[in-house]
Structure formats: C-alpha cells, structure tokens
Structure 1
Amino acid sequence: MKIVYFGSDVFLDVFRYLHENHEILALYTYHMEEDYFNEHNMVQLAHLSGIPVRYGQITEQEMERYIEDGCGLFFVAEYSHKLPVPVDVRFRGINLHSSLLPEGRSYYPIECAMERGLKSSGVTMHKIAESLDRGDILASARFEINPEDDSVDIYLKSGRKALSLVKELMEDFERIWSLGTPQTEKRPYWKRPKQEVMILNHGMTVAQAGQVYRCFNKMTTVTIDGRSYHVDGFSAGSVHLGPDDGCNLFVRENRVLYGVADGHLRLDLVPVWEE
C-alpha cells in the first residue's frame, strides 16, 4: 500500500514496520524542543531510503495529489497538525492516539493522564474525521501506569502496543476498516497542563520536584537569573547548597545544581526559545 506518514519518533517502530512492508510516499514531521521524542530517527531513516521529508502542515491540494498518485492511506502517529479531510471518497486516514478514546482527547494525553494520577491508559487507532480525535475506533489496547513509571515509560508502552495494532490492521485492512466503531460517548477535551504546575522552584522538596519531572519530563521548566529553561535531565542529591551559591551553582553552561528545601537538583538545561 502507498502511504503518506505523519509523525515523530514516539511511534518509530510503527514507521519502521510500514516502511519495511509498504511504500512511504513522504514523511511529514515537526520539531518541538519541549518534546522528549522528536523526529531524529525517522528523518534519518527517510533520508537513507530516499523518502521526501516535509515540515509544516499539508494542504488539501497536496493530499489530493497524493491520492491521484495512488496513496491508499494517510497515517498519523504523534503529529503536531490536524489534517484536512478531503471531500474524496478515496481518502482514508488513520490516527494513533495515546489514550483510550473517548477518554483523553488531547494534544497531551500522556502528560494529562500522569497529572490526573491515572492507574492505566492505552492507545487507540481510529479513523481521521473532521473533529479532532473523534473518528471511528478501529482498535485499542490498554496498559498499566505503575508508580515507578514516568511519562517516557508511558510513551514507550504506547508505542509498543501501537505496533501490534498496526500489524493486525495491515494484515487484514479492508475488514478492520469496515468494522470501525463510532464514538458515541462525549468526554471533555483534556487541555494542556497549566504552565505553573510544570515549573520547579526552590521551595519544593526533592520528592515534589521529582514528581513534576516524572509527569512532564522535558516539558518541565525552571527559571534561573530571569531566564527560562527546559529540564533536559534530572537527578537529585541531599546536600544543601551554601548561602554563597545563591541556591544555584552552574557547573557548566547548561548544567546546574539547583537548591531545594531538602537538598539539591542536578539539572541539564536547554534554553526555552522565545519568539
């Protein structure tokens, strides 16, 4: 089958499987610095395989050209833009979503699930529709969220469950496509977590800071000397910083010891890009 693929490395194994067993006409991807998983591996594989790589949002006219060229499936798996839906009976689109729909419609389903303290979640494969995350469900799989799991663990669990769903789909595509189940139950949309809950501060304990990072990983931010950073790496120690350190001690340009109430955090930092 000819496929146009949209996504990031969150579902890298799915991209590899489709690349090995089908024809990828183009890869549409994006880069967002706050995301733990970006596009690095997919883009590298696409370049090695001669697959065109596109950044930005596809237009409906481009989609029509792909359909004319024989594209049988537009496959979305962790992508930053909503696809237009052509008025064309030949259009077939599928999205992988990291929640058990209809619960968890969101651009941030994993972080929101972690913030809510859910004990389980899952991944859903559904048809693409005009309304975001509301297309007919083709398949889903549940997994547990264990106390020791952080958001990266959940992304990995979602990716592994998704690969099994996609393999089953592609082995019996027409039948599974025809059995899509409409989402009749309406659930509230999960908005992006509020910025203030993702910010570390000196008044926190090590445990509190660790819980923030567990939920939000690289979306976690910290402000030092008036400048905001994404937290790219996190560990902690029990020794307090002295008053001469001013609660912060840079050990290199983008690595800091950050004082908290009962010890310190060892943070690797990436500056927040400001428009």
Structure 2
Amino acid sequence: MAFSLATWNINSVRLREALVLKLMTEELPDVLCLQECKSPVDKMPLEAFAAAGYGHVVARGQKGYNGVAILSKIPMQEAAAEDFAGLGHARHIAGRLENGVTVHNFYVPAGGDVADREVNEKFGQKLDYLTEMRDWFHAQKPEKSILVGDLNIAPREDDVWDHKKLLKVVSHTPIEVEHLAQTQDAGGWVDITRQDIPEGRLYSWWSYRAADWDAADKGRRLDHVWATSDIAAAGHDSRILRGARGWEKPSDHAPVFAQFDL
C-alpha cells in the first residue's frame, strides 16, 4: 500500500482552515498531521475536512494553545495519546492505519527564549519532555511506525541558516540536539527527510519577524518525518512545500511531505 503523508504546524486550524483545505485539494496527502491547532477538538472544522475526503480523525485539543490532529483518507484508529512531562498539554496523538502502520504526531514544547533551565522553566520542560519521549520509546520498542511533527529542534548544521550564530539560540543548542538524538536512537528512528535529501540547507520554519522571509531566508528545519528502521527503506520523495510559507496569512511553518510504499 502506497500513501503520502504531510506534517504541518498550522498555527491555528480555525484561523487557517482555508489553507488546510488548499493543501488537501492541491497536494492530496493521504495522511495530514497538524500541530498547534489551538482549538478544542469539538471546535475544529472537521466537517469541512471530511467533505474534502479526510473523514478519519484522531486528535487532542485545548483552547488557544497546542493541539494535535491526524486527518486521514485511510481508515485509522487512535493508538495512543501521551502527556509527556506531565504538562497537561495536547502535544501527542497516535493513529494506527488499516495497513498496520502507527503514525505518531508530536508538538514538542518550544522551550522559551533562554537556553537555561535554571532561569527559564519552559526550557526545562522541553528537555524533560524529550527525556520522557526517549524513555517511552525505549520501553515501547516501536515497529512499523512513523513519527512526525514540530519537534522544535533543528539538529544539523545545515538545518539552520547560520550554525555558529544559533548555537546558543533555543532550537539549535547542543543540549537540545543531544536530547533529540537520544530520543531518535531510543526508538530506532530514521530521519526520512535527510535520508532522501542528505546534503544542503533545508528549512521548514521562517520567523514572522523577518520583513521579507523569502529573501532573508533565515530558516530552521524544525519539522520532521521519521520512520522506524524496519520501514525506513519504504520512505521516499521527501520535500518541503516552501511556497506555503508565502500563502495569504500563512503559518510560519511549511508542510513537510514523504511517500511510503508499504
């Protein structure tokens, strides 16, 4: 069974319902994972998405913050919804597709502005969240699984516009990169995007603060598609839809795509 998958931090699913529908109708992913939905599940525009062909949904939401949803053309059942680090946030949902593949959708905490847990509680929460992810996947030993989402870390030097300038900036600090690597190793996850595009600068997020984000191109690759090693070879045709960052009233993230033949 071949299917396409996309992950996108939408930065309010209600505010950007039209953009989600545009992606659905123009790009036709079979599975669409959204983060930062900023809405309770009962207020998400699920009827409109169902009318576009995405009638299978697993989601966790909350008012005004966080929120994750998997919208699928393929029949799917909820498989897990974990509250890592006990934050009480809607940051994880997993669905099992009818072909047996489990899709994990994550919105890892951003971590605030200061990369020091002693003075910034949010940074400590981010590290704790990743540690609990690591331990959970170590215990789970996942198979036939895909992990996607806004992981809020750009791990490689070519995942940011300037490695040296961002070494002390939250999302690219060595301690965050190490925590993410441990989480990846614990689950046996393979970075599908970089498996397909091994070289060169690659970004999925550009700040709203940039007057001309496209020309400045000071991006970071915060959004990821991973797969367990048993199915990693089935992943291909990865891409980032950079143009979506330029749509009207856009999210500051661009969707990341991959295809899987399973």
Work out whether the TM-score is over 0.5: no
The structure whose RCO (Cα within 8 Å, separation 6+) is larger is 2
Q: Answer with 1 or 2: which has the greater Rg.
A: 1
